């Protein structure tokens, strides 16, 4: 029998120090800073042959076949971070730890004590510090190569957390970088490391060889999607239980213990009447799930766009976002017993204070119903994007994904009495442990709010795309839809202490006793590859150019703009998310200025890099071809551009005829938007200046007619000839017939 593959590798862990402090300081700009940090690190790591194993928010795990390359990569990365100019005077510092050891590859996981030791070495350090184990230091000498301008300082034996035997650690001392740090964060945390901690160690004396020589360590190739078993939190990975796409997982004591399958694509979850109830938007049903086995006991028909759900022993309430109503299910008979009209686009529902509370996104209201009769008793105006709702003894809390805020509603006055600013794109809210917890989908955090003072007391990084929250007996659990994990926050420390690898795309979560039940959707990766052929019955579809509104059915798949609507079914498809932009901007100058930072390294289908000026070109082409402001007449320069375009078009086509006039028009007419759309390639920013505030501007930018095109693209429409694009599909053939 062949065992798991084993290799000796040098492992590098990195982690941003004080990420919560940075998030508080930068708020909406934190996502951009995090992306820039990732870009700088990846450039340095890839330059020296690093294999990225995992990335968790502000942390990296990278494997190298040579210790020398690992140290060179860490030094280059620290230099790049130290010399970079960060916004708002922020200081981003990253700690790094290296260790060389033997690791196994088992079931697409990189496991072994070497992984744990390397992670602990990293967490022992401080921002800006590079720590090496003695094993890595010795291997550097064995490789007979010098790390230029780098000395190693002996910090002496250190006891790492969860390890009984001390490990001798070394610090890389690099000219021009910080070299003095506080005592290491080790298990014994000595007040002073002694003279050895401050005395410079010996420089590696052997020079770098001119060519690459073979090193007596095995080489291991890992896919970019490989996950690690131990990062810096407790992670479950040894359980044989797996959750299938469109399934449900049962977690007990931090381990996945059971799983089941659900008809359709699951969305939200709630517990009540001894069961967990899970909505499915695409097949308009609610599944009643056994919280011990994960088996579906009953599937009950709901309404179109079944999404938010709340339950107790008396009833189950389902928000049907596309029907504009609630379905009430009797848990005793497993049948829908009532349908109640509510507001437009109901997305979330909660029970408490003797009422049913329904958040309606499309009409920006919170409706209150009597939980016995279903009678509507109050309609309360809230903000522009209500997404989630929960209730405690004193208040009703509504999370607004557009305003990035949490509303406090007094159930006696039936009105909003306070607003708390939280993270970006809040998607879920829950109460427990004396706090209100808000999952911020677009910045990977959870905000902890003190309900006594209505202030955020902590912001906790939890993963990629926190989607839903539930409060269990030991902590607050959050599902991360983009990294396939379920994580628990310890309310005593405000730290993530448990991580369960669920896989696919975790969605709704619910607590039942000691168990946590998570609904899991199919991830998009299962649909990669292949050819899509479409036939559209549209009277006029002669073009595949993104500026042609009739082509939107095709360009939705092939082109990207700065922002987009979430690509999913149901009411979730109306959520605005960053696309080629790093983050959604906060308007300034009274709502007249919007500044975007373009994601680095994105390329068109022809290999060309996307640049900031490409977005201005998209609008120039749009205005010159349509000679109409569409939605964008408020952009500075748009009105004179369009007026001049119409004048020249009428003059030239009248004098030369339509065909020759059009040719002369595109050869002559120009559109000056340099004051309305200001671009900066060095900072990768695109800034829109409007004549008047436009509260719907971000949503209008999501229309595909503003998709990026290379700045050199002709102003004339391309017709049936596809332009370079950035989307998941590229056009191989187009026939306008």
pLDDT above 90 (res 286):
yes
The mean per-residue pLDDT over the stretch 272-291 comes to 93
Banded pLDDT at 213 (limits 50, 70, 90): very low
Q: Residue 528 has what pLDDT?
A: 57
Q: What is the pLDDT of residue 151?
A: 87
Is residue 524 within 8 A of residue 533, CB to CB? The reply is: no
Is residue 561 within 8 A of residue 286, CB to CB? The reply is no
If you average pLDDT over residues 189-198, what whole number do you get?
34
Alpha-carbon gap, residue 214 to 460, rounded angstroms: 44
Confidence category of residue 159, pLDDT binned at 50, 70, 90: confident
Asked if 319 and 346 count as a contact pair (C-beta separation under 8 A), the reply is yes
pLDDT at 235: 45
* pLDDT score, position 525: 54
SS3 224: coil
- Averaged pLDDT of the chain: 84
Candidates 357, 363, 403, 397; CA nearest to 377 is: 357
Q: What percent of the chain has pLDDT over 70?
A: 85
Residue 369 confidence (pLDDT): 96
Bridge partners for 445 per DSSP: 440, 461
pLDDT in tens, 536-586: 655 555 678 888 877 777 788 889 999 998 877 666 777 788 899 988 887
The answer, yes or no, to whether residue 354 has pLDDT greater than 60, is yes
Mean pLDDT across the stretch 252-280?
92
What residue ranges define each of the domains in the chain, with the CATH number in brackets? Answer: 5-228 (3.30.70.1230), 246-525 (2.130.10.10), 549-706 (3.40.190.10)
Task: Give the pLDDT score at 685.
Answer: 95
Q: Interhelix angle for 134-142 vs 67-83, to 10°?
A: 110
pLDDT of the residue at 730:
80
Contacts of 282 (CB under 8 A, 6+ apart): 264, 265, 569, 570
Report d(CA 445, CA 583) in Å as an integer: 14
* Predicted local confidence at residue 383, as pLDDT: 87
d(CA 42, CA 50): 9
- Per-residue pLDDT, averaged over 55-68, amounts to 84
Summarize the confidence of residues 39-62 as an average pLDDT. Answer: 85
Q: For 582-617, what is each residue's pLDDT tens digit?
A: 888 878 888 899 999 999 889 998 889 999 999 999
pTM beyond 0.85: no
Cβ atoms within 10 A of the Cβ of 79, count?
A: 16
> In terms of Cα–Cα distance, which of 248, 256, 269 is closest to 428?
269
Closest CA to 13 of 43, 47, 49, 56: 56
> CA-CA distance, 62 to 101, in Å (whole number)?
13
Instruction: Tell me how many degrees the CA angle 328-440-579 measures, rounded to the nearest 5.
Output: 105
Cβ of 539: how many Cβ atoms within 10 Å?
5
| Strands (DSSP E) found in 540-674 | 563-565, 576-578, 593-597
Residues 691-737 have pLDDT tens digits of 999 888 998 999 889 999 999 998 888 787 888 999 888 877 777 66
* Distance, CA of 403 to CA of 695 (rounded, Å): 11
Render pLDDT for 492-528 as a digit per residue (tens, 0 to 9): 999 999 999 998 899 999 999 999 999 999 876 545 5
Of 51-65, 205-219, 256-270, 536-550, which range is least confident?
Answer: 205-219
Say whether pLDDT at 222 is over 60: no
pLDDT band at residue 307 under the 50/70/90 scheme: very high
**According to DSSP H, which parts of 489-576 are helical?**
552-558
Residue-wise pLDDT for 310-331, tens only, equals 999 999 999 999 899 999 999 9
Q: From 63, 108, 56, select the one nearest 482 (Cα to Cα).
A: 56
Q: How does strand 495-501 pair with strand 234-236?
A: parallel
Distance CA 48, CA 212 (A): 12
Nearest residue to 531 via CA among 704, 737, 731, 727: 731
The pLDDT tens digits of the residues spanning 615-669 come to: 999 999 999 998 999 899 999 999 999 999 999 999 988 888 888 888 888 888 8
pLDDT tens digit string along 443-491?
889 999 999 999 999 999 998 889 999 999 999 999 998 888 999 999 9
Q: Please list the residues that pair with 379 across neighbouring strands.
A: 367
């Amino acid at each position: 029998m062949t065992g798991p593959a084993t290799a000796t590798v040098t492992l590098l862990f990195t982690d941003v120090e004080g990420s919560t402090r940075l998030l508080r300081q930068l708020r909406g700009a934190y996502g951009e800073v995090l992306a820039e940090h990732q870009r700088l690190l990846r450039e340095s790591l890839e330059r020296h042959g690093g294999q990225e194993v995992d990335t968790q928010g502000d942390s990296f795990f990278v494997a190298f076949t040579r210790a020398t390359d690992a140290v060179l990569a860490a030094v280059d990365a620290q230099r790049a971070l130290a010399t970079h100019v960060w916004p708002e005077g922020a200081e981003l510092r990253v700690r790094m730890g290296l260790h060389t050891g033997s690791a196994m590859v088992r079931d697409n996981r990189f496991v072994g004590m070497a992984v744990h030791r390397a992670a602990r070495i990293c967490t022992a350090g401080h921002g800006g510090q590079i720590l090496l184990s003695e094993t890595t230091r010795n291997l550097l000498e064995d490789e007979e190569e010098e790390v230029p301008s780098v000395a190693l300082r002996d910090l002496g034996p250190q006891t790492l957390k969860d390890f009984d035997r001390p490990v001798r650690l070394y610090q890389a001392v690099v000219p021009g970088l910080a070299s003095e740090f506080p005592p290491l964060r080790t298990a014994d945390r000595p007040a002073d490391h002694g003279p050895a901690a401050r005395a410079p160690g010996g420089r590696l004396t052997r020079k770098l060889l001119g060519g690459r020589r073979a090193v007596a360590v095995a080489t291991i190739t890992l896919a970019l999607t490989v996950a690690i078993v131990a990062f810096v939190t407790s992670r479950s990975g040894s359980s044989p239980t797996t959750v299938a796409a469109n399934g449900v997982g049962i977690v007990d004591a931090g381990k996945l213990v059971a799983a089941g399958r659900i008809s359709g694509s699951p969305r939200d979850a709630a517990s009540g009447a001894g069961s967990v109830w899970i909505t499915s938007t695409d097949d308009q049903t609610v599944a009643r799930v056994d919280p011990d086995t994960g088996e579906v006991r009953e599937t009950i028909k709901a309404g179109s766009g079944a999404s938010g759900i709340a339950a107790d022993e008396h009833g189950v309430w389902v928000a049907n976002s596309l029907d504009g109503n609630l379905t009430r299910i009797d848990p005793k008979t497993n049948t829908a017993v009532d349908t109640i009209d509510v507001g437009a686009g109901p997305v979330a529902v909660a029970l408490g204070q003797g009422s049913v509370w329904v958040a309606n996104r499309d009409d920006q209201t919170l409706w209150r119903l009597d939980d016995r009769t279903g009678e509507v008793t109050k309609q309360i105006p809230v903000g522009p994007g209500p997404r989630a709702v929960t209730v405690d003894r004193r208040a009703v809390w509504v999370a607004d994904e557009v305003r990035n805020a949490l509303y406090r509603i007094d159930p006696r006055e039936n009105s909003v009495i306070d607003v708390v600013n939280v993270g970006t794109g809040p998607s879920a809210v829950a109460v427990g442990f004396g706090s209100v917890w808000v999952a911020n989908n677009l910045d990977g955090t959870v905000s902890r709010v003190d309900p006594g003072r209505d202030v955020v007391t902590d912001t906790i990084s939890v993963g990629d795309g926190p989607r839903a929250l539930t409060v269990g007996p030991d902590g607050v659990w959050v599902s991360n839809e983009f990294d396939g994990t379920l994580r628990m926050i310890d309310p005593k420390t405000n730290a993530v202490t448990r991580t369960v690898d669920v896989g696919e795309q975790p969605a709704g979560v619910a607590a039942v006793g000691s168990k946590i039940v998570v609904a899991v959707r199919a991830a998009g990766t299962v649909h990669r590859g292949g050819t899509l052929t479409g036939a559209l019955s549209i009277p006029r579809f002669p073009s595949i150019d993104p500026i042609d509104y009739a082509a939107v059915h095709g360009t939705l798949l092939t082109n990207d703009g700065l922002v987009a609507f979430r690509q999913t079914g149901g009411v979730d498809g109306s959520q605005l998310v960053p696309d080629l932009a790093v983050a959604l901007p906060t308007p300034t100058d009274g709502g007249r200025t919007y500044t975007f930072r373009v994601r680095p390294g994105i390329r068109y289908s022809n290999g060309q890099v996307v640049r900031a000026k490409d977005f201005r070109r998209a609008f120039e082409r749009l205005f010159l071809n349509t000679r109409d402001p569409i939605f964008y007449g408020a952009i500075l320069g748009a009105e004179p551009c369009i007026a001049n375009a119409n004048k020249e078009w009428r003059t030239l086509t009248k004098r030369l005829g339509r065909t020759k006039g059009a040719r002369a028009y595109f050869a002559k007419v120009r559109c000056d938007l340099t004051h309305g759309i200001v671009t900066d390639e060095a900072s990768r920013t695109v800034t829109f200046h409007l004549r008047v505030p436009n509260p719907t501007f971000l949503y209008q930018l999501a229309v595909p007619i503003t998709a990026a095109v290379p700045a050199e693209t002709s102003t004339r429409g391309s017709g049936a000839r596809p332009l370079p694009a950035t989307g998941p599909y590229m056009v191989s053939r187009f026939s306008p017939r």
